[in-house]
Copies of this chain bind each other. A is one copy, B any other.
Amino acid sequence: MPAPSPAVPERVRIALEERSYDILIGPGLLAHAPSWEGLPTAAAAVIVSNATVAPLYAAKLRSALAGRYRTVHEVVLPDGEDHKDWPTLNRVFDALLAHGCDRKTVLFALGGGVVGDMAGFAAACYMRGVPFVQVPTTLLAQVDSSVGGKTAINHPQGKNMIGAFYQPARVVCDLDTLATLPPRELSAGLAEVIKYGPIYDMAFFAWIEANIDALMRRDTAALAHAVRRSCEIKAEVVGQDEREAGLRAILNFGHTFGHAIEAGLGFGEWLHGEAVGCGMVMALQLSRRLGLVGEDFVRRVTALVQRAGLPTVGPALGADRYLELMRVDKKAEAGEIRFVVIEQPGRAAVRGAPDDVVRQVLADCTR
């Protein structure tokens, strides 16, 4: 496990031709001048953050950016998934227009996945596209949502239904920001870290099993490795399939069931990562019932999900409601739900499944 140095952050490259960019990972990066060198120049920068994160880190980011941009504005959104909607997004546009921001203006998304998704989508749409930088302050955003260019807002009838593929100019993961993360959110982030094991890299999965206690107590070196390896895997997958024509869909392991949980309970009730943690257990049970993996493997992953402080049993929404919610998933095709299943430990695929098998899984995994 390499020890991260504050002077030389770890660097993962997302290779997407002219849309390529770096992910910087390390402690102390917010105040570290080289983190911001080489970004697009402009008269103004705009920090988009939320009411929880802005008081903690906006001043630090603002002073780091002051040397590069003549003016640095701030837009502070309400915190939480239930504000990931059009009226809240429009507050970003209102602010950009009120400040006379032109199409060179650089947006900085300072916060978790919701802030990243909204600031990214705002950047994708404002004047048909301005540059933006992801500055994720949650583990979930650092290992998953800030990387790969998926941006979106929710529609009352479905999560992330309105959005764009729009790549950031850079991602800066300051590990120090994880110190202020509530324990539930740390666990939620670990769900997306664990995800990379069954779908892509069982050696990494074994490393997580061996280091889960260090991760839970926020050991910086352990976090640095978890974030770096997660970003590397995501970079490899996204580099091959930027717009989710195929391979990239495996990153949605646990998300089909997970989105149904989030939508069924009302967004914000469970954290996204909590729903994904439980959704992975459900997707594994489905894989087992489809004859793809054995019970031992399901137990092994379930145990790690549990040790990460995540739920492994879903809410009793009723199978009909689960099926209805999953049919509006973006992976669905012509009304058929598409699940990410594990074909063998370390390899995933996307496929349909008979409704009665899905009902058995739901009967097993909800209470």
A interface residue numbers (CB < 8 A to B): 43, 86, 90, 93-94, 97-98, 100, 102-104, 124-129, 150-152, 155, 157-158, 160-165, 243-244, 327-328, 330, 332-335
Once bound together, how far apart are the Cα atoms of A185 and B333, in whole Å? 40
B164 touches A129 (CB 8 A): yes
Once bound together, how far apart are the Cα atoms of A328 and B126, in whole Å? 12
Copies in the complex: 2
Note all chain B residues with C-beta closer than 8 A to A93.
155, 161-162
- A-B contact list, 24 entries, CB within 8 Å: A43-B334, A93-B155, A97-B155, A97-B158, A97-B328, A102-B330, A102-B333, A104-B334, A124-B164, A125-B125, A125-B162, A125-B163, A125-B164, A127-B161, A127-B330, A128-B150, A128-B152, A128-B160, A128-B163, A128-B244, A128-B330, A129-B164, A129-B243, A164-B164
Q: A102-B334, A126-B162 are in contact. List 13 more A-B contacts (CB 8 A).
A: A43-B333, A94-B157, A97-B155, A98-B157, A100-B327, A100-B328, A100-B335, A103-B330, A124-B164, A126-B161, A127-B330, A128-B163, A128-B243
Note all chain B residues with C-beta closer than 8 A to A150.
128
A165 touches B97 (CB 8 A): no
Set B90, B128, B333, B335: member contacting A165, Cβ < 8 A: B128
Note all chain B residues with C-beta closer than 8 A to A334.
43, 102, 104
- A333 → chain B, closest Cβ, in Å? 5
Interface centre among A102, A155, A161 (most CB of B within 10 A): A102
Note all chain B residues with C-beta closer than 8 A to A158.
97
Once bound together, how far apart are the Cα atoms of A155 and B127, in whole Å? 10
Note all chain B residues with C-beta closer than 8 A to A97.
155, 157-158, 161, 328
Note all chain B residues with C-beta closer than 8 A to A162.
93, 125-126
Once bound together, how far apart are the Cα atoms of A160 and B160, in whole Å? 23
Note all chain B residues with C-beta closer than 8 A to A94.
157
Note all chain B residues with C-beta closer than 8 A to A327.
100
- A329 → chain B, closest Cβ, in Å? 9
Note all chain B residues with C-beta closer than 8 A to A157.
94, 97-98
B126 touches A332 (CB 8 A): no
- A176 → chain B, closest Cβ, in Å? 32
Note all chain B residues with C-beta closer than 8 A to A155.
93, 97
Once bound together, how far apart are the Cα atoms of A102 and B331, in whole Å? 8
Q: Which 3 A-B pairs have the closest CB atoms?
A: A43-B334, A97-B157, A127-B330
Note all chain B residues with C-beta closer than 8 A to A103.
330
Once bound together, how far apart are the Cα atoms of A100 and B102, in whole Å? 37
- A244 → chain B, closest Cβ, in Å? 8
Note all chain B residues with C-beta closer than 8 A to A125.
125, 162-164
Note all chain B residues with C-beta closer than 8 A to A100.
327-328, 332, 335
Once bound together, how far apart are the Cα atoms of A163 and B164, in whole Å? 11
The residue in chain B whose Cβ has the minimal distance to the Cβ of A70 is B334
Once bound together, how far apart are the Cα atoms of A124 and B162, in whole Å? 9
Once bound together, how far apart are the Cα atoms of A356 and B246, in whole Å? 57
The residue in chain B whose Cβ has the minimal distance to the Cβ of A96 is B161
Set B128, B160, B161, B333: member contacting A164, Cβ < 8 A: B128
Note all chain B residues with C-beta closer than 8 A to A332.
100, 102
Note all chain B residues with C-beta closer than 8 A to A129.
164-165, 243
Once bound together, how far apart are the Cα atoms of A162 and B89, in whole Å? 11
